[in-house]
Chains A and B, each alone.
Chain A
């Protein structure tokens, strides 16, 4: 059975505006894709450990010494809007009432 998805909720989590047409199409397509993908549950027994990366490297460290990093101007060069040396964005926190 196709999986039922709350498209509005998932789109909100993904910070993704969707048109009504997109919502209808995605509800149908994701339902079918997830129905097929759920197959993974058939073989993934409790005693099988998960693998996050096939070639595991752990504790990859470097010496804690300062190194050259991206210059401020380079970091800001793609900003669609800036205020001096900062990225400008619409307000994030509520002000006043």
Chain B
């Protein structure tokens, strides 16, 4: 049965405005859903029901005065557990931060909280956002609401699953190489990675600083536009945040019915052998619909895309090895037990016990790639490839307004299936990584189900700061397809 928590944020805001429901009722609906399904989905690491209810009461009091409300006020939200929340444990899915309570809020949460958002909790993720399946969490895997035996994707798997299962109306994740778009695709929800710097990274616990973005999960494109509008904008606390005006993303959707004249470039490899047949079919049907809506469809080749994965797996671990140097057993809660001869022995033991296998792999990879004698051959060369990828996009966008591809070459795979094969796991991100290297905005929008009933996402990419363009095209496609995606879990007895 459809409950309040199954509605979109836009629908709920409308009901709140009309006085048809209270924020407390909405939050209670969300909490009831968590109670009903999270023992199976395991999307949350920390629940904050008292924070959410207190906020909802405040929103209802404010509404009673007749004052205008933010479109996010009273709407249940979840935050990936790499976003700091003052006084609320923030673990990054890691043993090394298992007891860490941040003394400050990330800017993304400052903005949503200031607008009245109701925090339901902090969601599970791959440790330090490193992974594509959520199996790298020190606190166990998340289960995909579409099939509890398959992964939700990663690294923001908990946020994606929570939104898909109606545990929250929307959620934040972080996308460094596809960590929001890929799980959005695998869980049948909308994922938006904005332009690098569009949303402040302050309080996003750093993985790869030149690639990290705060990104959104929603159940409609309109909700994504609303949420991004609240988050975007310059922040003096993040020197890489862009100082550009924030358009009214939701307004940009108005009157968007057809796509006449829109030039759509289908990225080379979209229908290649590496893409599952079920994914190819759904993407082909979506591209046909874009054409049916008036778009001019052509093919586009990003000549250096084949090198993007290699460049990414040098740049991201290099930056990670530097960022994660701060976990030294001194300031963030966890320290290995024992009597230590000196600080280095204590730090090395703490890090050896505190980090999981994937994080160790990337710290080692990055340390090696940055070390004397190898820096030029690996990190230096990878930075040049980043230049080539940026040029590829620039020339593609001379011919096309948006680029499309699958978000992920496969639908959700079984838990455990790729766990022992890092190279196979890294291939999950082959379509998403180039956008992070180039800093451009991209969206994953659901476009169908495969033969096994698992969701497929279409990725749309636009030039820097053209979030409104991918949102508009995705909105038109979403309206045209008219999918009503609802995981079977919610209707099971």
Contacts and interface: CB of A to CB of B under 8 A. Distances in A.
A42 B335 CA distance: 43
B380 interface: yes
Interface string B361-395: 10111011101000001101111111110100000
Contacts of B236: 62
Of A18, A79, A89, which is in contact with the most chain B CB atoms at under 10 Å from its CB? A89
B363 A14 contact: yes
Contacts of A16: 348, 351-352, 355, 360, 363-364
Contacts of B422: 29, 33
A87 B382 contact: no
A80 B329 contact: yes
Contact of B385 (A7, A43, A81): A43
Contacts of A40: 307, 310-311, 314, 378, 381-382, 384-385
Contacts of A51: 383-384, 386-387, 390
A80 B349 CA distance: 14
Interface string A19-62: 10010001001101110111111111100111111110100101
A60 B328 CA distance: 30
Contacts of A80: 329-330, 333-335
A90 B345 contact: yes
Contact of A14 (B364, B386, B390): B364
Interface stretch (B48-56, B100-108, B251-259, B446-454): B100-108
Contacts of A60: 239-240
Contact of A54 (B345, B349, B371, B438): B438
Contacts of B397: none
Contacts of B195: 55
Contacts of B423: 32-33, 36
Contacts of B24: none
Contacts of A48: 384, 387-388
B371 A41 contact: no
B244 to A, nearest CB: 10
B329 A78 contact: no
A17 B349 contact: yes
8 contacts: A14-B351, A29-B422, A49-B387, A50-B387, A55-B439, A57-B240, A90-B340, A90-B342
Interface size range on B against A: 35 or more
Contacts of A55: 195-197, 240, 242, 439, 464
B437 A26 contact: no
Given A51-B383, A80-B335, A43 B351 contact: no
A89 B242 contact: no
Interface of A: 5, 7, 10-11, 13-19, 22, 26, 29-30, 32-34, 36-45, 48-55, 57, 60, 62, 70-71, 74-75, 77-81, 87, 89-92
A49 B382 CA distance: 11
A90 B151 CA distance: 42
Interface string B462-476: 001000000000000
Question: What DSSP secondary structure best describes chain B's contact surface?
Answer: helix
A37 B306 CA distance: 11
B394 to A, nearest CB: 11
Of A48, A51, A80, which is in contact with the most chain B CB atoms at under 10 Å from its CB? A51
B64 interface: no
A7 to B, nearest CB: 8
B197 A30 contact: no
Contacts of A57: 197, 239-240, 242
Contact of B310 (A39, A81, A87, A91): A39
A89 B346 CA distance: 9
Nearest to A54: B439
B247 to A, nearest CB: 17
B314 A89 contact: no
Given A13-B371, A34-B378, A40-B384, 17 more contacts: A13-B367, A14-B364, A15-B328, A15-B347, A29-B422, A33-B313, A43-B304, A43-B385, A49-B384, A50-B384, A54-B464, A55-B242, A55-B464, A57-B239, A78-B331, A80-B334, A89-B330
Contacts of B390: 51, 54
Contacts of B100: 78
Nearest to A89: B343
B341 interface: yes
Closest 8 pairs between A and B when the two form their complex, measured CB to CB? A54-B439, A17-B352, A50-B383, A74-B103, A44-B384, A80-B335, A44-B381, A60-B239
Of A7, A50, A60, which is in contact with the most chain B CB atoms at under 10 Å from its CB? A50
A44 B367 CA distance: 21
Contacts of A10: 364, 367-368, 371
A18 B346 CA distance: 13
B365 A39 contact: no
Contacts of A81: 335
A70 B412 CA distance: 43
